[in-house]
């Protein structure tokens, strides 16, 4: 549904992303990983139609993203930036902002909008927080509010920029479970993830970026075995199982490219 062809762009004259070509598989979770400053967020903004690429094309349902009106785009694509505003408004009002792309003239939210908002809050498990002030919530609760907002937006594609950063471990897992449920509901999710462990555990596809370029993409196992993660991040990765789940450990790569040990822990 979303396809990037030779996308190049950045801020001003700084090109952060070079010639990026990838089709995001539908109804899957694609994790975008790479070291700091490799252009992940820039790419995400261009893919979501927030920023225009200086070369190349972003196609949405086969058509250039620039051919859609801003409002129509808001109904098709959600984007959650890394720096999110925390206005002091009730949770339900924040979630209702997700219905803004459907607002007609005169500006009045319809009963079905309120129904969507209610369902989205229940889905994200924040119905009991509906009247609470967003600015008084914990980081994890807030993140669920943003997810509920994206759900209320009822878009097919979601771009999430580091939704788990600054959250404690159990919240991170909760957020990833919510992401999975989004995918199971038929949505296409593309997320920038800092945490390689989460990416390997939860993503269906992983796209690895280095210095603004796509260096590898594939399923988690495939990517793990390709050795690209180790090369790009300068780490060694060990895998292990516990309670039927796969876990990953990362240790720094030995200096001067010494013996790599890729194996079980």
Partner 1 sequence: MKSLPNTFTEKKPNSFPALPVSVGLFLLAAALSLSLGSTFFSPAQLWKAASGAGDPAVLRIFLHVRLPRTCACILAGSALSISGVIIQSVLGNPLAGPNIIGVNAGAGFFAVLCTALLPAWPGAVPTAAFLGALAAILLVYGIARATRASRITLVLSGVAVSSILSAGIDAVVTLIPDTLTGAASFRIGGVSGVAMQSLAVPGAYILIGAVLAFSLRYEMDILSLGDDMAKSLGLRVGGYRFCLLLTAAILAGAAVSFAGLLGFVGLIVPHGARFFTGSESRRLLPVAALVGAAFVCVCDVLARMLFAPFELPVGIVMSFLGGPFFLYLLIRRKGGRSDNG
Which residues are near partner 1 by CB under 8 A?
Answer: 45, 48-50, 70-75, 77-81, 83-90, 93, 97-98, 100-101, 103, 107, 128, 131-133, 135-136, 139-143, 153, 166, 170-171, 174
Element (H, E) at 190: strand 188-192
Nearer to partner 1 by C-beta: 172 or 236?
Answer: 172
Whole-number Å distance between alpha carbons of 71 and 4: 21
Minimum CB–partner distance for residue 259 and partner 1 (Å) = 42
Minimum CB–partner distance for residue 195 and partner 1 (Å) = 17
Helices (H) and strands (E) in the chain, counts: 9, 13
Q: Do residues 158 and 182 lie in contact, with contact meaning Cβ atoms separated by under 8 Å?
A: yes
Nearer to partner 1 by C-beta: 165 or 210?
Answer: 165
Minimum CB–partner distance for residue 90 and partner 1 (Å) = 6
Nearer to partner 1 by C-beta: 117 or 232?
Answer: 117
Element (H, E) at 251: strand 245-252
Residue 68: cis peptide before it, omega within 30 degrees of 0: no
Nearer to partner 1 by C-beta: 134 or 200?
Answer: 134
Look at residues 216, 100, 75 and name the one whose alpha carbon lies nearest to residue 158: 75
Burial 2-35, CB ≥16 within 10 A → b, else e = bbbbebbbbeeeebbbbebebebeeeebbbbbbe
Minimum CB–partner distance for residue 198 and partner 1 (Å) = 17
Minimum CB–partner distance for residue 17 and partner 1 (Å) = 16
Q: Do residues 143 and 171 lie in contact, with contact meaning Cβ atoms separated by under 8 Å?
A: yes
Q: At a CB cut-off of 8 Å and minimum separation 6, what does 96 contact? A: 109, 113, 114, 117, 152
Minimum CB–partner distance for residue 235 and partner 1 (Å) = 28
Nearer to partner 1 by C-beta: 13 or 70?
Answer: 70
Minimum CB–partner distance for residue 39 and partner 1 (Å) = 16
Q: Do residues 79 and 40 lie in contact, with contact meaning Cβ atoms separated by under 8 Å?
A: no
Nearer to partner 1 by C-beta: 30 or 78?
Answer: 78
């Amino acid at each position: 549904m979303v396809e990037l062809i030779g996308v190049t762009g950045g801020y001003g004259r700084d090109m952060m992303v070079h010639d990026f070509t990838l089709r995001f598989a539908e109804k899957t979770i694609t994790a975008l990983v790479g070291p700091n400053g490799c252009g992940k967020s820039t790419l995400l903004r261009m893919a979501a139609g927030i920023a225009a690429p200086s070369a190349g094309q972003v196609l949405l349902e086969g058509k250039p993203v620039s051919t859609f009106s801003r409002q129509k785009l808001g109904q098709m694509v959600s984007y959650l930036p890394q720096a999110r505003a925390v206005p002091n408004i009730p949770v339900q009002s924040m979630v209702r902002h997700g219905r803004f792309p459907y607002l007609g003239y005169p500006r009045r939210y319809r009963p079905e909008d309120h129904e969507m908002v209610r369902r989205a809050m229940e889905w994200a498990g924040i119905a009991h927080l509906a009247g609470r002030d967003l600015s008084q919530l914990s980081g994890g609760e807030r993140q669920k509010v943003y997810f509920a907002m994206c759900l209320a937006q009822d878009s097919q594609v979601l771009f999430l920029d580091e939704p788990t950063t600054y959250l404690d471990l159990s919240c991170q897992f909760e957020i990833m479970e919510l992401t999975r449920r989004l995918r199971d509901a038929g949505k296409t999710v593309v997320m920038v993830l800092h945490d390689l462990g989460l990416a390997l555990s939860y993503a269906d596809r992983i796209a690895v970026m280095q210095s603004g370029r796509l260096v590898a993409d594939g399923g988690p196992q495939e990517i793990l075995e390709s050795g690209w993660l180790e090369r790009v991040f300068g780490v060694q990765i060990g895998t292990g199982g516990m309670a039927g789940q796969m876990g990953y450990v990362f240790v720094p790569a030995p200096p001067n490219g010494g013996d790599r040990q890729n194996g079980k822990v």
